[in-house]
């Protein structure tokens, strides 16, 4: 009997695993720079949390969730996105009352969506995300975008556009949706079948549907901007000015509504223009949500944040990955020429690991010169340490640098001191 991994999942190992790990470290470090504190929430939650927050009619809930009954007959879902669990944890642990505000949380977690797999789209994938809670300031929206932009800059990803829109509050959205529905009914026959089905429940999705958004009547559909009041227009303009002043380019896309129901106010997406991510181009998506905290049982507090698709970012960064990520190499490969010195070789390796924080591999059997070098290059070791009886008599070993080909005889005390 042989087994293969479930569709839409991957095994990560070797350099890919190392790049993934380095990306995780980099993201968490950049988040820390902005004073985000990491949070870990369960990989599964009660299904209602996601149904309530993302909305019954969202694709995420209606089609993509992994839902199952546990042995206690509870209906459980694997986390399809990071935000809902964080908000649940914030409310449950009363963090908005016992932590400094704004509360700034970040996460790096696996998420699960039952989607058709392709490059940049997996059934188990990872999101890095941030959430700023308890701040109504447009500066929080700005700061989230600045962080997202900073991440892409650090990773030398420059083939993307930042699209941005302002989708207002639930009441104005309801007015807009009503007008929009009436408008789309006039063009019912020109809508795709899937949009005809969406029309009653979720007409906003028609606006950012890839096929529909190319049609003239969709382009001319009533805009949310016609429903914004003066304060909202001013707030949006403030954000745009801040972005201009920071030289962050953006494109206003009035069709951008995002796929989850909880957004109000600013929404944004960093969309890749790279050939590598043709079908799955949204690298980072986020925005403001005003009612999510109260819907999950908390107080009336706003939040804003974004989620970044780790696998998509790795694809987008892959062109340049040699300049961004370190190679998964060893600092030293240590081996002895004679059986009686194997023990010393192993001890040297341990000393370097312990006192010098080096990555070291030791051979447990004595080897000939050419085998040592062959093993060292197979292991991608930067330097080779050869333990030979003659040198060892004066407490020395032979060291060869595999990159510069320099070879020297080094005193062990020196090695442990300077290396």
Which residues of the chain form contacts with ligand HAM (CB under 6 A)?
A: 81-83, 113, 115, 120-122, 125, 127, 129, 131, 259, 282-287, 305-307, 309, 311-312
Q: What minimum distance in Å lies between the beta carbon of 100 and ligand HAM? A: 20
Query: C-beta of 117: minimal distance to ligand HAM in Å?
Result: 8
| 158 vs 340, beta carbon nearer ligand HAM | 158
- The torsion region of residue 405 among left (phi > 0), alpha (psi -120 to 50) and beta comes to left
- Closer to ligand HAM by CB, 306 or 333: give it: 306
Query: For ligand HAM, which is the closer residue by CB, 83 or 344?
Result: 83
Q: Which is nearer to ligand HAM, 54 or 221 (CB)?
A: 54
| φ, ψ (nearest 5 deg) of residue 190 | -90, -5
Q: How far is the CB of 129 from ligand HAM (least distance, A)?
A: 5
Going by C-alpha positions, the residue among 281, 233, 231 that lies closest to residue 118 is 281
How far, in Å, are 37, 45, 190 from residue 77 at the CA level?
Answer: 25, 6, 37
Least separation, in Å, of the C-beta of 137 and ligand HAM?
A: 16
Reference 261, options 83, 66, 75; nearest CA is 83
Q: How far apart are CA 260 and CA 330, in angstroms?
A: 45
Q: Which is nearer to ligand HAM, 16 or 361 (CB)?
A: 16
CB of 122 to ligand HAM, least distance (A): 4
Q: Identify which of residues 115 and 361 has a Cβ nearer to ligand HAM in the complex.
A: 115
Q: Which is nearer to ligand HAM, 134 or 307 (CB)?
A: 307
CB-wise, 255 or 286, nearer to ligand HAM? 286
Report how far residue 39's alpha carbon sits from residue 36's, in angstroms, rounded to the nearest whole number.
Answer: 9
**In the complex, minimum distance from the CB of residue 402 to ligand HAM, in angstroms, rounded to a whole number:** 37
C-beta of 115: minimal distance to ligand HAM in Å?
5
Minimum CB distance to ligand HAM, residue 82 (Å)? 5
Nearer to ligand HAM, 255 or 287 (CB): 287
Smallest separation, CB 226 to ligand HAM (Å): 25
Six-digit token string for 98: 């016992």
The residue number with the shortest CB distance to ligand HAM is 309
């Amino acid at each position: 009997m042989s087994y293969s991994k479930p569709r839409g999942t991957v095994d990560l190992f070797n350099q890919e695993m190392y790049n993934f790990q380095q990306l995780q470290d980099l993201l968490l470090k950049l988040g820390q720079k902005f004073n985000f504190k990491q949070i870990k929430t369960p990989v599964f939650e009660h299904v209602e949390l996601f149904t309530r927050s993302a909305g019954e009619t969202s694709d995420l809930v209606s089609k993509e969730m992994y839902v199952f009954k546990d042995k206690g007959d509870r209906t459980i879902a694997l986390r399809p996105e990071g935000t809902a669990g964080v908000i649940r944890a914030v409310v449950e642990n009363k963090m908005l009352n016992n932590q400094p505000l704004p509360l700034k949380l970040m996460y790096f977690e696996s998420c699960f969506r039952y989607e058709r797999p392709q490059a940049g789209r997996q059934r188990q994938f990872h999101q890095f995300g941030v959430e700023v809670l308890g701040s109504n300031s447009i500066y929080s929206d700005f700061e989230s975008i600045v962080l997202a932009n900073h991440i892409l800059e650090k990773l030398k990803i420059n083939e993307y556009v930042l699209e941005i829109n302002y989708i207002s509050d639930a009441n104005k959205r309801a007015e807009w949706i009503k007008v929009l529905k009436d408008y789309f009914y006039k063009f019912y026959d020109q809508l795709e079948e899937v949009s005809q089905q969406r029309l009653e429940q979720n007409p906003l999705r028609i606006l950012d549907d890839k096929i529909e958004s190319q049609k003239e009547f969709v382009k001319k559909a009533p805009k949310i901007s016609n429903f914004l009041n003066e304060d909202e227009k001013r707030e949006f303009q403030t954000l745009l000015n801040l972005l201009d002043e920071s030289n962050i380019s953006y494109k206003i896309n009035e069709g951008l509504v995002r796929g989850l129901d909880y957004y109000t106010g600013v929404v944004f997406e960093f969309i890749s223009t790279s050939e590598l991510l043709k079908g799955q181009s949204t690298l980072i998506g986020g925005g403001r949500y005003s009612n999510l905290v109260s819907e999950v049982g908390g107080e009336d507090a706003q939040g804003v944040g974004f989620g970044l698709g780790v696998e998509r970012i790795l694809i987008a960064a892959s062109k340049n990955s040699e300049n961004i990520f370190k190679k998964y190499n060893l600092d030293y490969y240590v081996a002895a020429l004679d059986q009686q010195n194997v023990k010393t070789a192993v001890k040297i390796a341990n000393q370097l690991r312990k006192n010098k924080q080096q990555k070291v591999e030791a051979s447990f059997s004595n080897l000939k010169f050419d085998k040592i070098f062959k093993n060292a290059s197979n292991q991608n070791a930067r330097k080779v340490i050869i333990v030979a009886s003659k040198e060892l008599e004066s407490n020395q070993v032979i060291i060869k640098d595999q990159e510069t080909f320099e070879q020297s005889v080094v005193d062990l005390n020196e090695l442990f001191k300077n290396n």
